[in-house]
Amino acid sequence: MGGSGSYSLANAYYDFNKHLFAGIIRLAGQSQPSVRDAIAKRTSIWLHIGLKDTERRIRVTRRAYDYIKNYYPNVSEESERINIAGHPGTTLTLTKNHIEILKKTEYDNDGHAIYNFPYHNNNFFKWLFTQSLQYRK
């Protein structure tokens, strides 16, 4: 279930034992634009979508971004142009108190097949493995 499975897994994991993942990376999800309140409050999320994917996937990704953004008043939003392995795009990052809460990368010329090249971003795994629940209580 790829990108959609990331939210399903996080929600089910929380429902089962009230545990959270520190970070979630979601590639081209097509369902569930929202997560449980506890996840929205404490888990960092990075969304990825190709702008030539289906309209539904693009809409769901943008709704997922807006869902978390609306959770936090007074967040700072930064935009950065990127080019990962020849795939240009834009990354939006929401921060609060100098902590990254949410990222969304939209790839300009790509469709659904974004399951490989984001891993070539030097910051991809560094971002994931530096997330911590202790920073967001």
CATH number assigned to the domain comprising residue 131? 3.40.50.1820
Q: What is the mean pLDDT of residues 33-56?
A: 95
**Alpha carbon of 89 to those of 92, 104, 135: distances in Å?**
10, 10, 29
CB neighbour burial string for 98-107, b if at least 16 within 10 angstroms, e if fewer? eebbbbbbbb
Is the predicted pLDDT of residue 36 greater than 80, yes or no? yes
Identify the residue whose tokens are 């994991």: 13
What are 78-112's pLDDT values in tens digits? 999 999 999 999 999 999 888 899 999 999 999 99
* Of 39, 1, 5, the residue nearest 23 (C-alpha): 39
- Number of domains, the chain: 1
Instruction: For residue 114, give every residue at least 6 positions away whose Cβ sits within 8 Å of its Cβ, in sequence order, or none.
Output: 27, 28, 48, 49, 50, 53, 87, 107
The pLDDT-based confidence of 119 (bands split at 50, 70, 90) is confident
Q: What is the pTM of this model?
A: 0.94
Domain of 70, in residue numbers:
2-135
Q: Report the pLDDT value the prediction gives residue 1, as an integer from 0 to 100.
A: 64
* 129 φ/ψ angles, rounded to the nearest 5 degrees: -85, 0
